[in-house]
Amino acid sequence: EVKLVESGGGLVQPGRSLKLSCAASGFSFNDYWMGWVRQAPGKGLEWIGEINQDSSTINYTPSLKDKFTISRDNAQNTLYLQMSKLGSEDTAIYYCAPDTFDYWGQGVMVTVSS
Amino acid sequence: DIQMTQSPSFLSASVGDRVTINCKASQNINKYLNWYQQKLGEAPKRLIYNTNNLQTGIPSRFSGSGSGTDYTLTISSLQPEDFATYFCLQHNSFPLTFGSGTKLEIK
C-alpha cells in the first residue's frame, strides 16, 4: 500500500523558516520524481515543485523559487521542503506526492502568524 | 507558464444529472491533463489521467476527453458521493498548473 506521511507543520512566526518532511512507503521511492503541492484555506491547489530521482534536477514554480528548497534522502525514503522567509501567504496545507500525482499524503498544515 | 482556465466555478445539479466541467489551457498541453476530486478535509483524488484514462477504482460514470487546449470531465449520472470540488492539472510542462476548481453542489 502506498503511504505518504507529511510532518513538521505547525504555527510559525512571519519571517521564520520551517522544514517539512514526507515519509514514503509502499512503492519504490527512488524510482520517482517527487513533488510538493499546497492549498491555502478555502483556495485551490498550487504546485510548488518537483525533484528528480537523484536530486540532480529540481523544478519550482517561479514565485517560490527563492523561498523554498526541495530535497530528498533516498536511503530514508523521505522528501523534504525547506521553507524560508515565511509570510501569511504561505499559510496552507502542504501535500507531497510522486510526480504522477496519483497518490497523495494527508497533508500537513502550516500556519504563519505572530 | 501555462494558464488553466476552469469553468464553471460553481455548478448546482441533481442526482442523476449529466454534468461537464471544462479546462482550457493557454497553449497546447498535448493531452497531459489530469482530473481530481477533492472532498472537504481530504486530499485530492485522481480520477482521470492523460485526458481520458480512468484511474483504477474510479467508477465508469467519470470520463475525460479533449485535445490541444480544451479538455472536459463528464460525469454521466451524478451520485450523492460525487458532490465535491474538481480540479484539473496540466503536466505538459513546468511549472505544472492547476485549474481554479469547480464546486459541484446538490440542487
pLDDT digits (tens, 9 = 90+) for B39-89: 999 999 999 999 999 999 999 999 999 999 999 999 999 999 999 999 999
Please report the pLDDT score of residue B18 as a whole number: 97
The pLDDT > 90 percentage for chain A reads: 96
The pLDDT > 70 percentage for chain B reads: 100
Chain-chain contact of B95 with A47 (C-beta, under 8 angstroms):
yes
Q: Is the pLDDT reported for residue B107 higher than 90?
A: no
User: Residues in chain A, how many?
Assistant: 114
Buried/exposed B3-32: b ≥16 CB within 10 Å, e otherwise: ebebeeeebebeeeeebebbbbbeeebebb
CA distance B100 to chain A (A): 6
According to DSSP, the β-strands at B45-49 and B19-25 are unpaired
Nearest to A45 by CA among B85, B60, B2: B85
Mean pLDDT, range A36-58, rounded to an integer: 96
Nearest to A18 by CA among A104, A111, A105, A97: A111
Chain A residues touching B95 at Cβ < 8 A: 47, 49, 59-62
pLDDT, tens digit, 9 for 90 and up, residues A71-109: 999 999 999 999 999 999 999 999 999 988 899 999 999
**A105 near B CB under 8 A:** yes
Q: Is the pLDDT reported for residue B100 higher than 90?
A: yes
**A104 near B CB under 8 A:** yes
**Residues within 8 A of B (CB atoms), A 28-87 only:** 35, 44-47, 49-50, 59-62
* Integer Cα distance of A14 and A8 in angstroms: 16
**B95 near A CB under 8 A:** yes
The pLDDT > 90 percentage for chain B reads: 97
* pLDDT band of B20, cuts 50, 70, 90: very high
